[in-house]
C-alpha cells in the first residue's frame, strides 16, 4: 500500500476532527439563534395581545357611544309616553320603549364582556412581559457563553486546519480534489474501508455503503497505490493494512 492511499487515510482522520469541531461551532451558534427566536416569538405575542386590547377598547368605545344615543332615545319614548293621547298610541310607544330597553341591556352585557376580555388580556400581557424579561437574561447568558466557546472552537479549527494542510502536502492534486468532492457528498466521509464479509469467505464489502466489492478491486488495492472508488457510493476504497 503506497503513500497516496496512506496519505488519504491520514487526511481522513484530520478531516473527521475538523468537521467535528466545525459541527460543534455551528451547533453553538444555532443554540443562540434558537433562544433569540424564542425571545422574538414572545415579543410578537406581546404585540399581538396589545393590539387585541387596543381593538377591544375601540369596540367598547363605539358600543358606549351607541348606548348613550340609545339612552337618549329611551328618554324620548318615556316623555312621549306621558303625552300619549290614546291607549293605542300608549301601547305602541310602550312596545318601542321595551324593545329599546332590551337592546340596551344586550349592549351593556356585551360591553361588560369586552371589558372582562381586556382585563384578561392585560393579565396575559404582564405574564408575557415577565417571560420576555427572563428570556432576555437567558439569551444574554447563552450568547456570552457561546461567544467564548466559539473563540475556543475557532482556535481549534485553525490548528486542525494547519494539520489538514500539512496532511495534504504529499497528496497529488487530482486525488485531493476527488477526496474533497466525495467528502462534501458524505459529510466528510470520503474514505471507505474494504471489509471482509467474514473470516473464511473471499467476499468483501464497502465500509461506507455495505455493497459488495469485487475481489478484482481488492487485488488492485493490494498491488497498487491507486484511487479506486466504490461503484455504488463513489467513496475511495482502502484496505485495512494501508493504515
Interface with Zn ion (CB under 5 A): 206, 208-209, 230, 232-233
Q: How far is CA 130 from the centre of its chain?
A: 23
Q: Which of 41, 35, 43 is nearest to 139 (CA)?
A: 35
User: What's the half-sphere exposure (Cβ side, CA atoms, 13 Å) at 13?
Assistant: 9
Closer to Zn ion by Cβ: residue 10 or 235: 235
Q: How far is the CB of 177 from Zn ion (least distance, A)?
A: 19
- Residue-level length of the chain: 243
Burial class (CB in 10 A: 0-12, 13-18, 19+), 130: exposed
Q: How far is the CB of 192 from Zn ion (least distance, A)?
A: 5
Least distance in Å: CB of 176 to Zn ion? Answer: 20
- Residue with smaller CB distance to Zn ion, 7 or 208: 208
Least CB distance to Zn ion at residue 183 (A): 14
Decide whether 21 or 194 has the Cβ nearer to Zn ion: 194
Q: In this complex, which beta carbon is closest to Zn ion, that of residue 128 or of residue 218?
A: 218
Q: Are 118 and 53 in contact (CB under 8 A)?
A: yes
Walk across the sheet containing 204-206 and list its strands: 212-213, 204-206, 191-196, 236-238
Angle between helices 173-185 and 3-82 (to 10 degrees): 30
| Residue 223 to residue 226: CA distance in whole angstroms | 9
Nearer to Zn ion, 32 or 228 (CB): 228
Q: Which residue reads 309616553 in cell numbers?
A: 81
Strands 204-206 and 212-213 turn out to be antiparallel
Shortest Å, Cβ 237 to Zn ion: 8
Residue number, 60 or 234, with CB nearest to Zn ion: 234
The closest alpha carbon to 56, from 123, 120, 118, belongs to: 118
Amino acid at each position: 500500500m503506497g503513500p497516496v492511499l496512506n496519505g488519504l487515510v491520514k487526511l481522513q482522520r484530520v478531516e473527521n476532527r475538523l468537521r467535528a469541531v466545525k459541527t460543534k461551532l455551528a451547533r453553538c451558534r444555532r443554540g443562540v439563534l434558537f433562544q433569540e427566536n424564542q425571545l422574538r416569538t414572545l415579543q410578537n405575542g406581546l404585540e399581538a395581545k396589545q393590539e387585541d386590547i387596543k381593538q377591544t377598547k375601540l369596540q367598547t368605545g363605539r358600543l358606549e357611544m351607541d348606548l348613550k344615543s340609545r339612552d337618549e332615545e329611551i328618554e324620548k319614548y318615556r316623555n312621549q309616553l306621558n303625552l300619549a293621547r290614546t291607549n293605542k298610541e300608549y301601547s305602541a310607544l310602550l312596545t318601542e320603549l321595551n324593545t329599546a330597553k332590551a337592546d340596551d341591556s344586550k349592549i351593556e352585557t356585551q360591553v361588560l364582556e369586552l371589558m372582562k376580555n381586556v382585563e384578561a388580556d392585560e393579565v396575559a400581557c404582564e405574564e408575557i412581559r415577565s417571560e420576555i424579561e427572563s428570556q432576555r437574561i437567558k439569551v444574554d447568558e447563552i450568547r456570552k457563553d457561546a461567544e467564548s466557546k466559539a473563540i475556543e472552537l475557532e482556535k481549534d479549527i485553525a490548528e486542525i486546519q494547519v494539520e489538514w494542510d500539512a496532511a495534504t502536502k504529499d497528496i497529488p492534486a487530482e486525488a485531493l480534489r476527488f477526496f474533497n468532492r466525495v467528502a462534501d457528498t458524505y459529510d466528510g466521509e470520503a474514505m471507505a474501508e474494504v471489509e471482509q464479509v467474514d473470516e473464511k469467505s473471499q467476499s468483501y464489502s464497502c465500509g461506507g455503503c455495505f455493497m459488495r466489492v469485487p475481489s478484482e478491486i481488492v487485488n488492485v488495492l493490494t498491488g497498487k497505490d491507486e484511487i479506486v472508488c466504490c461503484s455504488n457510493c463513489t467513496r475511495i476504497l482502502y484496505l485495512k493494512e494501508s493504515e
